[in-house]
Amino acid sequence: MDEIMKIKDVENWFLSKQEMSPKKLQKMLYYAYSWGLVFFNESVDSLKNTLFNADFEAWVHGPVIRDVYFEFSPYKYNNIEMRPNTAGVLPDDVEDLLNQVLGAYGDFNGNELESITHSELPWIEARKGLRPMDSSSVVIKTESIFEYYTGLLNK
């Protein structure tokens, strides 16, 4: 991967493929970011290659990028309509990654993806000590994300 994408380009790429709720978009961004960490970095000691710059917070309903939440909050539980892809031509490795994420997670709805993230260590660790409905702005650590998803590959 040669350059960091703009998060807007990744949003638009997903929304050019299917309509989805804001919750599902958040989770698709999370999985794209997470698997990007795994595929674009050699080790946990040098996590300099990220798909885009963002912090995922461990919210009640799963990993959330605060700015994306506010951008799409007017949709509430409704789907965001499909839109033309304004990202232009993506690098092959990024296009491949996004297609793999869409293939693996695209058939799930937002609630199902929330449930999956709730069973995964990065979100669980970031929520440690909180009750299920407690608000949180704790950032999920990139090291935790990398180690967890790398571990899934090695199973």
| Candidate from 42-46, 58-62, 103-107, 139-143 with smallest mean pLDDT | 42-46
- Is the Cβ–Cβ distance between 101 and 29 less than 8 Å? no
| One-letter identity of residue 145 | I
Confidence of residue 87 (pLDDT cuts 50, 70, 90): confident
Residues 6+ apart with CB under 8 A from 126: 57, 58, 136, 138, 139, 140, 141, 144
- The average confidence (pLDDT) of the chain is 95
pLDDT in tens, 105-138: 999 999 999 999 999 999 999 999 999 999 999 9
Query: What pLDDT sits at residue 139?
Result: 98
pTM: 0.96
Of 149, 155, 152, the residue nearest 31 (C-alpha): 149
Q: What are the Cα distances from residue 84, in Å, to 31, 53, 57, 93, 141?
A: 22, 23, 28, 21, 33
Distance CA(113)–CA(22), nearest Å, equals 12
Distance CA(90)–CA(50), nearest Å, equals 15
Q: What are the Cα distances from residue 103, in Å, to 14, 31, 74?
A: 11, 11, 27
Confidence of residue 2 (pLDDT cuts 50, 70, 90): very low
Query: What pLDDT sits at residue 3?
Result: 55
Every domain of the chain and the residues it spans: 7-153
Q: What is the mean pLDDT of residues 14-36?
A: 98
